[in-house]
Chain A
Amino acid sequence: MEHTISAYEHELRDLAGRIARMGGFAEHLVNDSITALTRLDVNLAHRVIADDARLDTLQREAEELAILIIARRQPMASDLREIVAAMRISSDLERVGDLAKNIAKRVIAINGAVVQKRLIVGVEHLAEIALEQLKDVLDSFTNRDDSKAAAVRQRDEEIDALYTSLFRELLTYMMEDPRNISQCTHLLFCAKNIERIGDHATNIAETVHYSVTGHAFELERPKSDSTSLESIQP
Chain B
Amino acid sequence: MATVAEMPRETQTFTTVRTPDAAPRPVKVRGENVNVFYGAKQALFGVTIDIPEKAVTAFIGPSGCGKSTFLRCLNRMNDTIVGARVEGKITLDNRDIYDTDLDVVELRARVGMVFQKPNPFPKSIFENVAYGPRIHGLARSKTDLEEIVVSSLQRASLYNEVKDRLHEPGTGLSGGQQQRLCIARAIAVSPDVILMDEPCSALDPIATAKVEELIDELRTNYTIIIVTHSMQQAARVSQRTAFFHLGVLVEEGPTDHIFTNPIEKRTQDYITGRFG
- Chain A positions near chain B (C-beta within 8 angstroms): 1-5, 8, 73-81, 214-215
Residues of B within 8 A of A80 (CB): 259-260
Separation in Å of the A2 CB from the closest CB of chain B? Answer: 7
- Chain B positions near chain A (C-beta within 8 angstroms): 231-232, 235, 259-262, 267-269, 271-276
B268 touches A3 (CB 8 A): no
Separation in Å of the A12 CB from the closest CB of chain B? Answer: 10
Residues of B within 8 A of A4 (CB): 273-276
With A1-B274, A77-B271, A80-B259 known, 8 other A-B pairs at CB within 8 A are A5-B273, A8-B273, A76-B235, A76-B260, A77-B260, A79-B272, A81-B260, A215-B261
Residues of B within 8 A of A2 (CB): 274
A78 touches B232 (CB 8 A): no
In the complex, A1 Cα to B271 Cα: how many Å?
Answer: 13
A75 touches B272 (CB 8 A): yes
A77 touches B262 (CB 8 A): yes
Residues of A within 8 A of B232 (CB): 74
Residues of A within 8 A of B272 (CB): 3, 75-79
In the complex, A215 Cα to B232 Cα: how many Å?
Answer: 22
In the complex, A224 Cα to B15 Cα: how many Å?
Answer: 47
Say which residue of A1, A8, A81, A215 sits within 8 Å of B269 (CB atoms).
A1
In the complex, A2 Cα to B276 Cα: how many Å?
Answer: 9
B268 touches A77 (CB 8 A): yes
Separation in Å of the B34 CB from the closest CB of chain A? Answer: 27
Nearest residue (CB) in B for A79 is: B272
Say which residue of B231, B275, B276 sits within 8 Å of A76 (CB atoms).
B231
Q: Which 8 A-B pairs have the closest CB atoms?
A: A214-B261, A76-B271, A1-B274, A79-B272, A76-B272, A76-B259, A77-B272, A4-B273
In the complex, A81 Cα to B271 Cα: how many Å?
Answer: 13
In the complex, A78 Cα to B258 Cα: how many Å?
Answer: 11
Separation in Å of the B270 CB from the closest CB of chain A? Answer: 9
In the complex, A80 Cα to B257 Cα: how many Å?
Answer: 13
A81 touches B231 (CB 8 A): no
In the complex, A214 Cα to B262 Cα: how many Å?
Answer: 9
Quick one: given A3-B274, A4-B274, A4-B276, are A214 and B260 in contact (CB under 8 Å)?
yes
Nearest residue (CB) in A for B258 is: A77
30 contacts across the A-B interface (CB closer than 8 A)? A1-B269, A1-B274, A3-B273, A3-B274, A4-B274, A4-B275, A4-B276, A5-B273, A8-B273, A73-B273, A74-B231, A74-B232, A75-B272, A76-B231, A76-B259, A76-B260, A76-B272, A76-B273, A77-B259, A77-B260, A77-B261, A77-B262, A77-B267, A77-B268, A77-B271, A77-B272, A78-B268, A79-B272, A81-B260, A81-B261
Residues of A within 8 A of B231 (CB): 74, 76
In the complex, A78 Cα to B264 Cα: how many Å?
Answer: 12
In the complex, A80 Cα to B267 Cα: how many Å?
Answer: 14
In the complex, A3 Cα to B271 Cα: how many Å?
Answer: 11
In the complex, A85 Cα to B18 Cα: how many Å?
Answer: 27
Separation in Å of the A228 CB from the closest CB of chain B? Answer: 36
Separation in Å of the B237 CB from the closest CB of chain A? Answer: 15
Residues of A within 8 A of B259 (CB): 76-77, 80
